[in-house]
């Protein structure tokens, strides 16, 4: 998965596609989601400058406040009525949000249901494959089926491996044929030094299975669970408990060796490409002395003739990985492979292998819910074009492109008049602006029927395997391909938008083209404050503190901006960080992390400077501001909000509205904001992205 900067709460795409490498933030989110169910839920309506709710009020069910004035708390002024009626669904951490992904999910599931109920589809069509997957999944009895023979044989084959040579062969085969992440953490990813070419990249381990490197401490608790899982699998294969425990413990030691060599500064950063570098095959071979790299890469299904360079994040860690790849660790390495395989295919083995009962499904969902979840989550590449056909039109695309072009013009004026930039840098930024490509629903085509015809199977295991093999072959086939600037950056059925710095393109999904973001029935300025603000936000990412180091061609090159301009940018960054950290709090005490949120805050600020510059009358400006506040309508559980402050690169909704608008002079004019009002900041305390 490539790095993108997306619009809503959530995290930039992990650089890993490997399921076994868990992102700490995912674990924390899951944990906190559970913890939060036990906690009181409160309405988060405050946090803006000048209006602070006493802390104890945050503990109550709902905060009673007099109606807000636009001049004091614009977020609440626009959203309080809707939020007063918004109710938290059981287990939900947020309510009343405009980013209602459940809505889209239900639309997609309706499509799936309809297809499943139909018949007579042409082989090679998305509908044919969806129905096939639906039927096979529905008829697969996970709880009473034995472990599929192919899978059982594979476990036993791993168990019987007797040399490192066989181990490497198996390791590559597990990835190629079964989609299991390889031990070298070698994957296909973006070359940030070449406008998005796809190359082989050695990713960095930030965890080994559930043993997350950021939480490992002197008790090494996570390593114990790792040892237990390894031991149970070996016992299932017939090893006695003592031997299985010893080997499981060795897996823990291997994990420790990798952990000890890890560059911890890289873990959890928003901009992993800061650490990205290229290496020649010869350089990599000098590190990987225990592996025949060419053979290994060939076994992954890669045409080695296309491999003239590798990407790498953490060479020190790769050295440590190389050091463990020896005969004396062979038993532990085999155990590691079995653990990887077990994790990927847990649902197919959880009932047949009695030792692995902790892999069993504990969701109490109906059979229909389970199959819909499976198709929705695993086959979005198939439902996506159907979703576009149903919910997108040429008229919508025309309106969208017009709005994108208007916003680009707005930026051209803003950047063109940024007198604090040198002429050369201003010219470069304008060139980068001109090069931005829009990707919309119109760019998504149906899949190649010949491609879909290879997906087959007599039961769901076989079918799932054919899908996995097909995806892996596709992935490896990408190597050496130049970045596709019209490539869709995220599913069209995802309510979001994103900017990809290495492709310098913006993806605007079909799902986000709904009220309150966009409607063909809306006035232009109402759409401009909604979807327009989203587009302007994404376009603003091209120039934010993180992405500005990509040049006008999308190549990562911090030196393309003159150093004097870089100094000016850094000075402005510091001012912006202080602005968000010092002026705005949540619950009256908690500040956003100015550093962590800078890129997103800048995108918001620049975006609103841009779209408001396109509205010239009082009425049009009011429409823009109203829509902007409305798209951020949301209330969040306290714990989710705290989570966001700690881990999210996006500021809480209320700050995205009030902090941004408090810096826009045009907001003061539109609503006659005066000293003493909650939204008021002295002119010298306001910040600007471009002025």
State the minimum distance, in angstroms, from the CB of residue 8 to Zn ion. Answer: 8
- Cβ atoms of residues 588 and 534 within 8 Å: no
- Cβ atoms of residues 314 and 204 within 8 Å: yes
Tell me the chain's radius of gyration from C-alpha atoms. Answer: 26
As a whole number of angstroms, the distance between CA 579 and CA 571 comes to 13
- The smaller minimum CB distance to Zn ion, of residues 57 and 533, is found at 533
What's the token pair of residue 548?
């500005």
Provide φ and ψ at 613, rounded to 5°: -70, -15
- The smaller minimum CB distance to Zn ion, of residues 537 and 621, is found at 537
- The smaller minimum CB distance to Zn ion, of residues 176 and 577, is found at 577
State the minimum distance, in angstroms, from the CB of residue 543 to Zn ion. Answer: 12
Instruction: Tell which residue, 553, 552, 546, has the closest CA to residue 273.
Output: 546
Which ranges of 261-301 does DSSP label H, i.e. alpha helix? 281-287, 293-299
- The smaller minimum CB distance to Zn ion, of residues 191 and 600, is found at 600
State the minimum distance, in angstroms, from the CB of residue 649 to Zn ion. Answer: 8
State the minimum distance, in angstroms, from the CB of residue 243 to Zn ion. Answer: 52
Q: Which residues of 108-237 form beta strands (DSSP E)?
A: 186-191, 197-202, 207-208, 211-212
* Cα–Cα distances in angstroms (integers) from residue 250 to residues 228, 291, 355, 388, in the given order: 11, 21, 20, 50
DSSP run (H or E) holding 322: helix 315-324
- The smaller minimum CB distance to Zn ion, of residues 299 and 631, is found at 631
State the minimum distance, in angstroms, from the CB of residue 14 to Zn ion. Answer: 16
Instruction: Tell which residue, 432, 444, 430, 342, has the closest CA to residue 390.
Output: 444
As a whole number of angstroms, the distance between CA 160 and CA 91 comes to 45
DSSP run (H or E) holding 500: strand 497-500
- The smaller minimum CB distance to Zn ion, of residues 196 and 540, is found at 540
- Cβ atoms of residues 400 and 520 within 8 Å: no
Q: What is the 3-state secondary structure (H, E, C) of 21-54?
A: CCCHHHHHHHHHHHHHHCCCCCCCCCCCCCCCCC
- Cβ atoms of residues 243 and 269 within 8 Å: no
* Cα–Cα distances in angstroms (integers) from residue 497 to residues 74, 182, 199, 232, in the given order: 24, 31, 25, 43
- The smaller minimum CB distance to Zn ion, of residues 5 and 658, is found at 5
- The smaller minimum CB distance to Zn ion, of residues 115 and 592, is found at 592
State the minimum distance, in angstroms, from the CB of residue 185 to Zn ion. Answer: 28
Using left for φ > 0, alpha for ψ between -120 and 50, and beta otherwise, residue 131 falls in: alpha
- The smaller minimum CB distance to Zn ion, of residues 259 and 499, is found at 499
- The smaller minimum CB distance to Zn ion, of residues 600 and 677, is found at 600
Q: Which residues bind Zn ion (CB under 5 A)?
A: 5, 7, 600, 603
Under DSSP, is residue 51 helix (H, G, I), strand (E, B) or coil?
coil
Residues in the chain: 691
* Cα–Cα distances in angstroms (integers) from residue 600 to residues 158, 211, 412, 595, 690, in the given order: 46, 30, 20, 10, 15
- The smaller minimum CB distance to Zn ion, of residues 68 and 539, is found at 539
- DSSP tag of 498: E
State the minimum distance, in angstroms, from the CB of residue 48 to Zn ion. Answer: 21
State the minimum distance, in angstroms, from the CB of residue 650 to Zn ion. Answer: 7
State the minimum distance, in angstroms, from the CB of residue 601 to Zn ion. Answer: 9
Judged on CB neighbours under 10 Å (0-12, 13-18, 19+), 85 is exposed
State the minimum distance, in angstroms, from the CB of residue 632 to Zn ion. Answer: 13
State the minimum distance, in angstroms, from the CB of residue 7 to Zn ion. Answer: 5
DSSP run (H or E) holding 137: helix 126-139
- The smaller minimum CB distance to Zn ion, of residues 148 and 530, is found at 530
Q: How many CB atoms lie within 10 A of CB 274?
A: 15
State the minimum distance, in angstroms, from the CB of residue 364 to Zn ion. Answer: 36
């Amino acid at each position: 998965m490539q790095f993108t900067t997306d619009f809503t709460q959530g995290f930039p795409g992990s650089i890993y596609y490997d399921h076994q490498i868990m992102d700490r933030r995912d674990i924390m989110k899951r944990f906190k989601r559970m913890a939060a169910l036990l906690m009181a839920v409160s309405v988060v309506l405050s946090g803006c400058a000048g209006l602070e709710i006493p802390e104890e009020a945050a503990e109550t069910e709902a905060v009673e406040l007099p109606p807000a004035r636009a001049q004091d708390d614009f977020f609440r002024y626009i959203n309080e009525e809707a939020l007063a009626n918004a109710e938290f669904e059981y287990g939900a951490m947020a309510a009343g949000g405009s980013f209602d992904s459940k809505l889209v999910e239900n639309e997609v599931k309706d499509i799936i249901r309809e297809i499943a109920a139909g018949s007579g589809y042409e082989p090679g069509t998305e509908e044919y494959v969806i129905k096939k997957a639906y039927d096979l999944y529905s008829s697969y009895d996970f709880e009473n089926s034995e472990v599929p023979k192919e899978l059982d044989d594979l476990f036993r084959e791993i168990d019987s491996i007797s040399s490192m040579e066989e181990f490497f062969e198996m390791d590559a085969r597990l990835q190629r044929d079964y989609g299991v992440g390889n031990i070298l953490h070698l994957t296909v990813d973006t070359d940030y030094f070449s406008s998005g070419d796809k190359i082989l990249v050695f990713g960095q381990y930030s965890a080994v299975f559930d043993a997350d490197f950021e939480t490992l401490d002197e008790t090494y608790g996570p390593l114990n669970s790792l040892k237990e899982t390894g031991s149970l699998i070996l016992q299932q294969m017939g090893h006695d408990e003592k031997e299985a425990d010893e080997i499981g413990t060795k897996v823990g030691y291997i994990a420790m060796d990798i952990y000890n060599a890890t560059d911890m500064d890289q873990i959890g950063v928003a901009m992993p490409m800061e650490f990205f570098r290229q290496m020649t095959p010869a350089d990599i071979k000098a590190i990987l002395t225990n592996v025949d790299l060419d053979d290994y890469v060939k076994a992954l299904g890669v045409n080695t003739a296309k491999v003239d360079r590798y990407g790498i994040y953490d060479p020190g860690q790769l050295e440590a990985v190389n050091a463990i790849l020896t005969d004396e660790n062979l038993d532990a390495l085999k155990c590691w492979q079995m653990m990887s395989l077990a994790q990927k295919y847990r649902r197919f083995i959880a009932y047949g292998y009695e030792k692995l009962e902790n892999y069993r499904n504990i969701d109490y969902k109906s059979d229909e819910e389970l199959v819909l979840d499976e198709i929705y989550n695993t086959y979005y590449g198939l439902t996506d074009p159907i979703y576009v056909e149903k919910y997108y039109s040429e008229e919508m695309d025309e309106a969208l492109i017009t709005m994108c072009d208007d916003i680009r013009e707005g930026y051209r004026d803003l950047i063109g008049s940024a007198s604090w930039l040198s002429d050369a840098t201003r010219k470069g930024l304008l060139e980068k602006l001109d090069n931005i490509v829009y990707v919309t629903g119109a760019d998504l085509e149906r899949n190649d029927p010949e491609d879909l015809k290879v997906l087959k199977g007599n039961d769901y295991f076989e079918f799932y395997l054919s899908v996995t093999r097909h995806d892996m072959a596709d992935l490896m086939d990408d190597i050496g391909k130049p970045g596709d600037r019209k490539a869709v950056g995220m599913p069209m059925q995802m309510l979001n938008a994103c900017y990809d710095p290495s492709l310098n393109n913006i993806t605007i999904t079909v799902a986000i083209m709904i009220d309150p973001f966009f409607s063909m029935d809306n006035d232009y300025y109402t759409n401009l404050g909604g979807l327009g603000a989203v587009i302007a936000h994404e376009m603003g990412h091209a120039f934010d503190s993180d992405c500005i180091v990509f040049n006008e061609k999308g190549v990562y090159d911090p030196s393309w901006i003159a150093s004097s301009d870089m100094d000016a940018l850094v000075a402005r960054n510091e001012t912006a960080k202080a602005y968000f950290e010092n002026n705005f709090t949540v619950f009256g005490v908690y500040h956003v992390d100015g550093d962590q949120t800078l890129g997103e805050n800048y995108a918001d600020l620049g975006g609103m400077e841009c779209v408001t510059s396109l509205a010239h009358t009082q009425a049009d400006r009011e429409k823009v501001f109203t829509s902007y506040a409305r798209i951020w309508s949301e209330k969040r559980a306290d714990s989710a909000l705290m989570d966001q402050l700690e881990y999210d690169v996006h500021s809480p909704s209320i700050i995205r509205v009030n902090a941004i608008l408090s810096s826009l002079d045009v907001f003061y004019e539109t609503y006659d904001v005066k000293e003493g009002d909650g939204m008021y900041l002295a002119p010298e305390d306001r910040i600007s992205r471009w002025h």
